[in-house]
Structure 1
Amino acid sequence: MITNTYYGPEGHGPYELIDIGTLELEEGGSIPNCRLAVAMHGTLNAAKDNAILVPTWYSGTSKIIEQGYIGPGRALDPTKYFIVVVNQIGNGLSTSPHNTSWDQAGPGFPKVRIGDDVRAQHQLLTGKFGITRLALVVGGSMGAQQTYEWAVRYPEMVLRAAPIAGTAKLTEHNALFVETLVEAIITDQGFKGGDYATAAEVAAGLKRHAKMWTVMGWSTEFFRAGRHRALGFDSMQAFVDNFMTGYFAPMDPNDLLAMAWKWQHGDVSRHTGGDLAVALGRIKARTFVMPISHDMFFSPADCEAEQKLIPGSEFRPIASVDGHLALFGTDAECLAQIDLHLKTLLATSA
């Protein structure tokens, strides 16, 4: 176990750590005393039909979801809905390589799939809250991967689904990019096969990781428009050093690698022998597929190809030159578009 002050309620709270017991894993093995860091907003009504689930994305925690997407008058309105934000396994708040003891600590952490996260969340919602229907499952990026997994795995439970900037099956292009993100970390001599003492020992690898995110997370139009200046940085170098590297530098490398493996292996067609059309055909939720126009990870074309396989779904693209990382809330117009689509979806009978 590694002590890392970056993770905790001081910077990412408030949230509740909930032990769901032993989680059996799809790749084999299990996580005993699996703990999920859960942030809850609003109140579950007597009928238990106003619950919204929001899973987190790569490197993100429940705090960024709260700050960017939840509030009175927003689509995710805690005065109307019981909003449950679950930090994915491996993100540093829930059970993760850096906060696990014994043989599962650090590089010994087992392989966890998107499906494992979703089964853990299902166990949480049904066991702790008695929720059997979800008014909405919505998530961005890896949160979208979990949203698709929910809609395919539990079609009767998910009434509405909104995968934002993500796909149900990772493309080869995306998988290759994830590989470069992984290599940026593991090729750092300070990584030591995952047996480093602190994240600071892997500073060079984390900086390379941040640079790759800068290149692909934003769009070429973001650079051309000088959007870094609108975000408060006089130069691109300052943006890379202070915003991007500053964001990733305190994170635990093994935690990032655990999430990257999940991201790289996201594929709902595992349920149907590799047939994506059959898998997406299982979805009964009223679904809005919401890519971001300038996303270079999960392109609108890739998202639309999947949307056409989902019965009764709608293609609702979001316009933003900030690309994939518009999910961070850097573009107010992007957030307004997402809010509008989610309000429309929630107003639609399911």
Structure 2
Amino acid sequence: MTKPAGPPGPLDDRDRPSFPLDAWYAAAWDHAVGRDLHPVRVADLPVVLYRKLDGTAVALADSCWHRLVPLSSGRLEGDDVACGYHGIRYDGDGRATFMPAQQTINPSACVRSYPVVERYRFVWIWPGDPARADPDLIPDMHWNDDPEWAGDGQTIRFAADYRLIVDNLMDLTHEAFVHASTLSQNEINTERLDVRHEGGIVTATKWMLGVTPPPFWSRQLQHAFPGWSGPVDRWQIIRFEAPCTVTIDVGVAKAGTGAPEGDRSQGVANRILNTMTPATRDTTHYFWAIARDYHLRDQGITTRLREGVAKVFTEDQAMITAQQRALDANPGHEFYNLNIDAGSMWARRAIDAMIDAETQRVGVARAWTGAGR
């Protein structure tokens, strides 16, 4: 196991951006964007989302060039957004197409248009340098729309720094305390955690062999194998991709049937999909979903799993927002690491590496917008 190497330093360093701009961030579920104006804050930038008549998603800066009135308070006219204050219209590229009481359109009249990609049921936007917006950099969350998996998810608004949520997901030992009634078992705190890291990817793996499954997992096993009970081999494989996406491969199989060697035929698996979009420095849009690999057409299971995980994440939300309030009340406080923090430590280093590289390219002032400060 990779051991932590001391505290990462103050978390409230206000002279340093808390997130990169050169990254894909989920701005909304795809079903939430339609023929209306959908305002959202992404990377401390006001953005308005909508669909053109052909269904293409558009993301524009939510501020009119003329008097900075939010465009989201206006209306759609065909594929253009009309400002609700003076009626200036902008096309999907952000260029003004109409001005009131004049024939000539000021050539400087435009608002920023952000690169948009729809993938894995999310609308992703790139708030940084548009020349660097490579769709291949979107984190893999294919389980969310893979026909061999079934599931659903929600969005939670956190009054907390997105990195605190990353910390929480990279260390699942908290299940023994925060989620004692659903996911807890003693082995979570006794079995070895293996942490590996390379570039912006951090993987933390834990196996618990021959254990009694907690309620969340015993119910799923009984759905897949009616009437079965007994010890299981349980796994948690957490994969972080900088700056803010965590996919968790979790499951249980009948003990001794080969799951650690790759044979999961006698078990059930879930993918817990998480991508945390910073709205501001200390508020976050938390998009999550749970997908499973059995009984794919059973909507009842889908609903029960979604609602069960929603309850679990509500418990996390209470803990993390309390933590954020404590950090706000103790500026300059440093976190100290235990062995269980190795995954979150390397995740934070990967985030910092992205921020440092971006700062070197565009300068401390963040030449693109100055956001994220």
- The interval holding the TM-score normalised by the smaller chain is under 0.3
Normalized per residue, which structure has more helix? 1
Normalized per residue, which structure has more strand? 2
Structure showing greater radius of gyration is: 2
TM-score for the superposition, normalised by structure 2: 0.23
TM-score for the superposition, normalised by structure 1: 0.24
Which of structures 1 and 2 has the larger relative contact order (alpha carbons within 8 angstroms, sep 6+)? Answer: 2
